[in-house]
Amino acid sequence: MKLEAEAYWAVAPGRGEIRPVALAAPGAGEVLVETRWSAISRGTEALVALGRVPASQAQAMRCPFQEGSFPFPVKYGYCSVGTVALGPEALRGRTVFCLYPHQTRYVVPASAVHVLPDGLPEERAVLAANMETALNAVWDAGLLPGERIVVMGAGVVGCLIARLAVQLPGAEVTLVDIDPAKAGIAEALGLPFRKDADGLEPADCVVNASGAGAGLAAGLALAGIEARIVEVSWHGDAAVTLPLGEAFHSRRLRVLGSQVGMIAPAMRPRFDHRRRLAKAMELLASDPALDALIDGESPFHELPELMPALAGAGSGVLCHRVSYRKREG
């Protein structure tokens, strides 16, 4: 039995197209997922859309079920929620999350899908990959109760990190973003907000999720003695210049890199990727306030026009959700 689907491909800098896909019926141990929602992970997908994945990182930045190669053409994405139409009886009809690109339906091993936990609306579940990144960053940063924590950048991942951090007993968390419009999102998440870090007390830990080298440099200036600066942003092929003179050495600062591809070392002996994603979805299910991070929705067939627009600098978009409802007529 042959099945038809459609998928979004990035084909040139700032240009994408929807292509037909021929699928084979699922075999033993496989499932057919009918996509209901996906989401655009704006930071990484913007770099992919613009062809800015460095050749040295082409293998490291491959996502599960990616097709094609960087820079182009490439089918890329990892925030998909759908319903299992065919497959093992225990999964049939269940709503699942999968790290799959933007495609109307797909066949994957049953082990690749994750059933949504009770209480997690499918519309919010598109944040699962971002929450997994944020959770791993919190682990990498070693955030502790009572610490003074500053998160630079109020994008989706930065907001999720700050939301997790503010729930630590006694933690003093500040979210910093140069865009004053982000104050509304911070308020919805119960986070103190600043347009800059001027006047803040020295931090025990600074997490840079701004996507900008300036955010990382500001974090160095703000860090207290022997503090940690955790870089979560991925800058693609952009060079980042840091002021490693001044007080960097006298304060004995530490700059750490955090990336979701590997589980944080402190948790690695007990957590695998499946357990970590399950915990991320559990955290999403328990926090309805996170719906505020989804600030737009468009139908799948508009992706060729939408993706380049979102990739543009300064779009201000948080999480843009993609709907796969069938078009009328």
At 303, which CATH number?
Answer: 3.90.180.10
DSSP state of 276: H
> What's residue 86's pLDDT?
97
> What's residue 328's pLDDT?
47
**% residues pLDDT > 70 (the chain):** 98
- Is residue 148 located within the same domain as residue 98? no
- Is residue 63 located within the same domain as residue 93? yes
pTM for the model stands at 0.95
pLDDT single digits (tens) 240-277: 989 999 899 999 999 999 999 999 999 999 999 999 99
DSSP secondary structure string, 119-168?
Answer: T--TTTGGGHHHHHHHHHHHHHHT--TT-EEEEE--SHHHHHHHHHHTTS
Confirm whether 148 is domain-assigned: yes
In terms of DSSP H, where are the helices of the chain? 42-49, 128-141, 156-165, 183-188, 213-222, 273-285, 303-311
Contact assessment for residue 230 and residue 206, using Cβ atoms and an 8 Å cutoff: yes
Cis peptide before 73 (omega within 30 of 0): yes
Confirm whether 226 is domain-assigned: yes
In terms of DSSP H, where are the helices of 27-90? 42-49
Domain with 56, as residue range(s), is 2-127+292-323
- Is residue 102 located within the same domain as residue 7? yes
- C-alpha 126/C-alpha 156 separation (Å) is 12
120, two tokens: 């997690």
Residue that finishes a domain, picked among 239, 257, 275: 257
> What's residue 146's pLDDT?
98
Identify the residue with better confidence: 111 or 61: 111
- Is residue 117 located within the same domain as residue 151? no
pLDDT single digits (tens) 280-328: 999 999 999 999 999 999 999 999 999 999 987 555 779 999 999 876 4
Confirm whether 267 is domain-assigned: no
For the chain, the domain total comes to 2
- Is residue 81 located within the same domain as residue 183? no
Confirm whether 199 is domain-assigned: yes
- Is residue 155 located within the same domain as residue 103? no
pLDDT single digits (tens) 52-97: 999 999 998 999 999 999 999 999 999 999 999 999 999 999 999 9
Confirm whether 97 is domain-assigned: yes
> What's residue 327's pLDDT?
60
φ, ψ for residue 237, nearest 5 deg: -95, 10
Q: For residue 175, how many C-alpha atoms fall within 13 Å in the half-sphere facing its CB?
A: 30
- Is residue 8 located within the same domain as residue 118? yes
Confirm whether 286 is domain-assigned: no
> What's residue 207's pLDDT?
98
pLDDT single digits (tens) 4-33: 999 999 999 999 999 999 999 999 999 999
> What's residue 329's pLDDT?
41
φ, ψ for residue 190, nearest 5 deg: 70, 35
Residues 6 or more apart in contact with residue 168 via CB below 8 angstroms: 143, 144, 145, 146, 147
- Is residue 123 located within the same domain as residue 148? no
At 217, which CATH number?
Answer: 3.40.50.720
Between 34-43, 91-100, 235-244, 276-285, the lowest mean confidence (pLDDT) is in: 235-244
Q: For residue 298, how many C-alpha atoms fall within 13 Å in the half-sphere facing its CB?
A: 16
Confirm whether 272 is domain-assigned: no
- Is residue 245 located within the same domain as residue 303? no
- Is residue 203 located within the same domain as residue 148? yes
Residue that finishes a domain, picked among 236, 257, 278: 257
- Is residue 202 located within the same domain as residue 314? no
Contact assessment for residue 43 and residue 211, using Cβ atoms and an 8 Å cutoff: yes
- Is residue 251 located within the same domain as residue 151? yes
pLDDT single digits (tens) 206-230: 999 999 999 999 999 999 999 999 9
Confirm whether 300 is domain-assigned: yes
Contact assessment for residue 160 and residue 130, using Cβ atoms and an 8 Å cutoff: yes
pLDDT reading at 161 higher than 50:
yes
Adjacency order of strands within the sheet including 2-12: 15-24, 2-12, 74-75, 67-68
Residue 278: other Cβ atoms inside 10 A: 18
250, two tokens: 């006298």
319, two tokens: 């999480």
